[in-house]
Structure formats: C-alpha cells, structure tokens
C-alpha cells in the first residue's frame, strides 16, 4: 500500500478493508482516508467531486459487508471523529464516536434512555443512518438534532421530524448526506439504576449473541409478525456452512466468520437463507446489514 497527502490528509491507496470490518472480510479501497475534523471531511468530499471519484462513507463497519472486489473511488472512515460532549441533559457525539462510548458518557453524567444501545458496536453516524435499535429502544426515540454534510458540500441541520425515521430507515439513506454529529435528549436518573440496566442488557447480549466470532451483527430485518432466528432454526439451517461462513449455533440471525470467510461466502449464505426461508414460510427476508462494494476487483 502507498499513501498520498492531499490538503494535509493522508490517503491510503489499495488498502484492504478487511482490516476494518467486523466480519474481517472485504476487498481493498482504491483510496481510503480517516478525517479528524469537519473541515477535512469537506475537503475530501470536494476532492472526490473534483476528481470525479465515487464517494463512500463508513462508520465503525460493524453492520456492514464489503464485497471482495472492494470499493472504487474514495472511501472515508469516520472513526477518528469521535468527540463526545455532555451539556445538561443532552449528549452530543461526532459521527465516528462508538455507541458504546456514547452510552458510557451518558451514564457518567447520570443520563438515562440510552441504555438500549450500550452493547451495540456501531458508530453514532451509522446508528443515525439506519435508526439502530435494540431491546425496545431506537435512535429515533432520543435524537433531537443532526448535523450533516450534503453531497454538494454544504452543512445542514435536521431535527428529529426531518429525519423521517422508520424501522432501520432514515432520511439520509435517500439524500446521501454524511452524518457528522448527533445530539440526544436524555433523562436524568440515578447512576446505579442506569448501570444496572446496562449490565443486564450486556449480559443478555453476551448470553444470546455469538460475540466470540467476527460477524456483521444481525443480518436480516425483522419481518412483520415473525422472528428471523426461529424461522432460520425451524427451516433447519442453523449451523450451515458456506466456505468459512456459518449460521451461528448461538443465534441463528447471525452469520459468523469461523474460518477465513470471504464476503462472497457471506453473500452466498444470505441468498441461501433467503431462498430457504421463503420456501418454508413464504417470507422474503430483507438484509439489515449494509452491503457495498463490487463483486470483483477491476
């Protein structure tokens, strides 16, 4: 890999994205940058526009599959933008801040309502993008404001209503805006009560989810009236392997990397599950995981 410096920003060339994804799969990014400031994000967006490069923005890469062909153009990973600030009963976090760290900051300030996200490994930006949720809570329940960068390079502010949140959906999926910062409205509560709930949820997560293996988290959206894991189990698919990917024996809604799996293995497993669940239950599963990149390198 070689690197170039543009406007003071280091850009890596042909960088393997498997180093950054939670599945430990994915081909190379043609160019990859880790901006530290909003100004650097703006400079990178302008650079991509001037050079005619496709632009891809990634957070913590936890609920993501990058195909084995990698990503053309410029990829930006926002994890270096991870500042978290507490003011009164609000927490403001940059897009690259981990949800886990953000919920811990809320706990330290004696602020509740964010506990549902205490074990979600994604970033704030990714969580806003997909309206992440768990254990009865969703980002839409607590978000009050978002700062984004539009594809034209303009800063814009959205309130909760403007984000048009729905199940694993938000406005920015349609607009292509880059989430830069989010503010959450929380509720003061006794810190021991907040910690106790976080500990309960983390214990529940550890007991039911295959955290010991690389994975992209929950693979499929929950269809109305159904639960994904039990359907996969009842279809007799749990434990099935394709290449190095396996339907988790601990939670059938997860596909885990047990032996040097590729993104192609993951994609084949997704299609296998969809085909069999449709045949058995008449339910078309829709991926929750974000799938990006090209099938083969150019």
Q: Encoding tokens for residue 139? A: 């980002």
Separation CA 149–CA 153 (nearest Å) = 6
**Would residue 288 show up in a list of annotated catalytic residues for this protein?**
yes
**Would residue 123 show up in a list of annotated catalytic residues for this protein?**
no
Identify the CA nearest to 59 among candidates 82, 86, 28, 29: 82
**Would residue 248 show up in a list of annotated catalytic residues for this protein?**
no
Residue 13 host element (H or E): strand 9-16
Of 18, 62, 112, 218, which one is the catalytic site residue?
Answer: 218
245, 264 Cβ separation under 8 angstroms: no
Of 67, 98, 168, 290, which one is the catalytic site residue?
Answer: 168
Of 98, 181, 288, 290, which one is the catalytic site residue?
Answer: 288
Sheet strand arrangement including 215-218: 215-218, 254-257, 245-247, 241-242
Identify the CA nearest to 157 among candidates 173, 138, 181: 181
Count each helix (H run) and each strand (E run) in the chain, helices first: 7, 20
Active site residues: 168, 218, 288
């Amino acid at each position: 890999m070689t690197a170039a410096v543009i406007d003071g920003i280091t850009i890596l060339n042909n960088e393997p994205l498997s180093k950054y994804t939670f599945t430990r799969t994915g081909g190379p990014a043609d160019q990859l940058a880790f901006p530290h400031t909003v100004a650097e994000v703006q400079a990178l967006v302008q650079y991509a526009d001037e050079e005619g490069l496709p632009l891809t923005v990634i957070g913590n890469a936890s609920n993501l599959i990058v195909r084995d062909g990698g990503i053309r153009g410029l990829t930006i990973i926002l994890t270096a933008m991870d500042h978290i600030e507490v003011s009164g009963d609000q927490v403001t976090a940059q897009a690259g801040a981990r949800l886990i760290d953000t919920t811990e900051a809320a706990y330290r300030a004696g602020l509740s309502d964010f506990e549902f996200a205490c074990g979600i490994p994604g970033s704030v930006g990714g969580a806003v993008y997909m309206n992440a949720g768990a254990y009865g809570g969703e980002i839409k329940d607590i978000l009050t404001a978002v700062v984004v960068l539009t594809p034209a390079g303009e800063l814009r502010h959205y309130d909760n209503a403007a984000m048009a949140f729905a199940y694993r959906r938000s406005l920015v999926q349609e607009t292509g805006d880059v989430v830069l910062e989010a503010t959450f409205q929380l509720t003061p509560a006794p810190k021991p009560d907040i910690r106790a709930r976080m500990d309960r949820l983390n214990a529940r997560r550890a007991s039911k989810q295959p955290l010991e293996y690389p994975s992209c988290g929950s693979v499929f959206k929950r269809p109305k009236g159904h639960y994904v894991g039990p359907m996969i189990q009842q279809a007799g698919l749990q434990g099935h392997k394709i290449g190095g990917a396996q339907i988790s024996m601990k939670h059938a809604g997860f596909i885990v990397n047990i032996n040097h799996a590729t993104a192609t293995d993951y994609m084949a497993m997704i299609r296998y599950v969809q085909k069999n669940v449709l045949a058995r239950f008449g339910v078309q599963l829709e991926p929750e995981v974000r799938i990006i990149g090209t099938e083969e390198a150019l």
